[in-house]
Structure 1
């Protein structure tokens, strides 16, 4: 059986295109046997799209070897959609602002399963999930796909002699569904938002009794996180009604991005089975709700010494790896804010005195600044916490932006500005105030174009501008209340 599998993999399309090494083939063969022996009946083949949403197909396990050898096709139009799931590129004609190879005729791209991402989805059914990388039919990379963007960034950092590690704090809410919004006239693009109610009253941060009220659902999510080896550390009651925070230990960039997306997907699917709705939206419109943020903890490892490079100097007034890295994050914060805060709603989280940043600044162990430096003498866990991101961000793009920014600071030996005590000082440089401002800044950034390439910058600009234009074309309730009676 093993020899037959190996021979099939070696003679398949992926190997012939140079997409499978001998190590990949050996690892895939061992994983396939494990999947079959564990009793999996279906295989979920997914890839992360441009919004950090898994797209995929579910196959019978009997076709696993064939897919491992040959990949599976997906329509390229999945890479061309905005958050309403509309295709926003003219796929029936040439497009000067994005690569032609991905646009013409909604052609297929090839998904190649990464067997090192294999996770047990048996909490849902007898199912196993595999994350895929995307390629053109000729085996060429799709350079603006989510995983490839992050792989390119980690390679650049490795060439500089470092490896990035990331830890996660993720805030989200779980509500009980009271109306599924399934009427025919509610199924537009995007569909009508479902109606919900709280499962806790909130405003009792980290209290044991609040945890007891919702322990059943949180325990189910914890167990699934453990089964999937996501590196969960803690489950916590957050500040607002029905708001929670899960924290995760450190891991390398690509692995951690995969874990974050697996977590978001798992949470939404499990909650839905319980007639609940989990949302990672930054600022839901419900009365009294609190904003959700994603805090990105980061450090870098010196590949020569194997040590945390931020430990070399805890005096951030000197030129050091840590000070250069932080200076780079500050310098590039506006340029790449679109990658950490990619939605219209995310910019409404940036409010003073709400434990969310409004300015481009840093401070020592200060929860109001954008960059919270947790760098202390002799601490092997020295790190920087970037509090700018929203929980709905694409983690592959977000991590790539952190690597780009920090690397820019290292390569240019940027000098770190003084630490901030008052995080909401009106004299400081502001983060973008709207998605529109973030799109324009991202598009016009020479740093972004040098690091990510013109194709990616133009591609993402078109997708996010479609979202921003739709938002601006809608008449809001605020406008109705402000002007209808008045004029």
Structure 2
């Protein structure tokens, strides 16, 4: 009998093979009946199948086949190319005819979902049927970028600091005329805040939301996620959660699980959690995702961003910052992939509007938090939105930082007043962000022409739908549109 798919193509490490045995033992011990096998799509949303235990055992050997169709749809489930022409509308024979892919479980990601009845959870990597990695897989891009770091003896450590909204559903909007169609998202539920706002970090606001937040907190900790803090943010029902530092791939996997967990736990209790940047609800302000980053020696674990006396950050850290600044505008559609995310880019708002770095200054895009002898020395990129795909966001940071290291890019002097700095501004909408990416030879080479062509074509289709419905909207001054709210509030 020949080798099965996973062994035939050498898709598991020794660590994964050992983890698979542990997973099966735990499934039997805990009476797990169903396992959700999921992969992150182009938006960072999880898609997949629920497998019985016997089906999972088969997938551990042969993988589990699934359609590539979700990669051909945008955020409104509109098919943005004709997959039945030669090259699938993307000039790639791999994309012709909506072919099957093979989901290969990653046993090291196994969790038991404490809110779901006897249910396990696993992430999968996507492969073509001949064993090649699926060329549009976001998780594969991050693995490749981390491998480039590893070749230099470097490990990326990163921390999550994520803002989001938690609201109470007052009308689920399930009437037939509200459920939408491909290209027109369903009307999102009507909601109300669960606490008042604008008294930043007020303990009483945290206590008001304690009943539902306590349940979310309990399940996150049971999952083993390294939750550090829960904070009352600026706007009504706006929260921030932070997590301990994690290595690169684990951080991205944690982000997709965290978002899914919060949304699912909340919905079961009649609440809606949204990671949309700025919902079209009076009094709601933008949410951000601040990504803390540092590099460590792969052998010793030493933080290589720790500065010497009199320095803001180490020489390696300076070069990394130089790369982040150099490629910030071209990376914009990865750090801020939704049309609504550009609502954050306003001066004097504690969100960056230009390409600047500074020392412990929340007006800057890159904020340096470091000191001699401080093993937690790091940089914080404040540009991202909470709906960003964590794999593409992190990949763009690694590729930019690596270029900074390889070319020893100098970020210049830190800015004392970032909002007044005479430096390049960040793209003010998704269309201009895509223009910058299209002009980036570096990212085209680093990601590959096939993916960049795909990403731009996909995102242009969303932008064109928006303009057709709303016209040319100034994202910095005009009101949030109903189109944005319908497109993102429930989905993200």
> Is the pair's TM-score, using the shorter chain for normalization, greater than 0.5?
yes
- How many residues align? The count is 473
Q: Residues 7-22 of structure 1: matches in 2 within 5 Å?
A: 11-22=3-14
1:118 match = 110
In the alignment, is the contact (CA less than 8 A) between 2:4 and 2:61 conserved in 1?
yes
Instruction: Give the drift of 1:311.
Output: 1.2
Q: Secondary structure at the match of 1:270?
A: helix
2:486 match = none
Deviations 1:30-75 (A, max 9, x none): 2111122111111001000000000011122232211211111111
1:105 and 2:100 aligned? no
In the alignment, is the contact (CA less than 8 A) between 1:112 and 1:134 conserved in 2?
yes
Instruction: Assess, with a 3 A threshold, how the Cα gap between structure 1 residues 449 and 103 changes in structure 2: closer, same or farther.
Output: same
TM-score w.r.t. structure 2 length?
A: 0.92
Match for residue 133 of structure 1 among 125, 129, 136: 125
Instruction: Give the drift of 1:13.
Output: 2.4
1:376 match = 371
Match for residue 323 of structure 1 among 318, 324, 328: 318
1:41 match = 33
Q: Which moved more, 1:123-132 or 1:189-198?
A: 189-198
2:230 match = 235
Match for residue 293 of structure 1 among 288, 293, 311: 288
Deviations 1:80-135 (A, max 9, x none): 22111222121101238736243211111000000000011132221000000000
Deviations 1:148-184 (A, max 9, x none): 0100110111112211001010000011111212111
Unaligned runs of 5+ in 2: 480-492
In the alignment, is the contact (CA less than 8 A) between 1:313 and 1:322 conserved in 2?
no
Instruction: Assess, with a 3 A threshold, how the Cα gap between structure 1 residues 317 and 382 changes in structure 2: closer, same or farther.
Output: closer
Instruction: Give the drift of 1:193.
Output: 2.3
Distance 1:349 1:397 in 2: 20
Q: Secondary structure at the match of 1:106?
A: coil
Q: What CA RMSD, in Å, does the superposition of the two structures yield over aligned residues?
A: 2.0
1:450 match = 445
Distance 2:340 2:39 in 1: 25
Q: Residues 73-472 of structure 1: matches in 2 within 5 Å?
A: 73-95=65-87, 98=90, 100-188=92-180, 189-313=184-308, 315-316=310-311, 320-425=315-420, 427-472=422-467
In the alignment, is the contact (CA less than 8 A) between 2:135 and 2:451 conserved in 1?
yes
Distance 1:314 1:218 in 2: 42
Distance 2:95 2:69 in 1: 7
TM-score w.r.t. structure 1 length?
A: 0.93
Distance 1:122 1:236 in 2: 23
Instruction: Assess, with a 3 A threshold, how the Cα gap between structure 1 residues 105 and 307 changes in structure 2: closer, same or farther.
Output: same
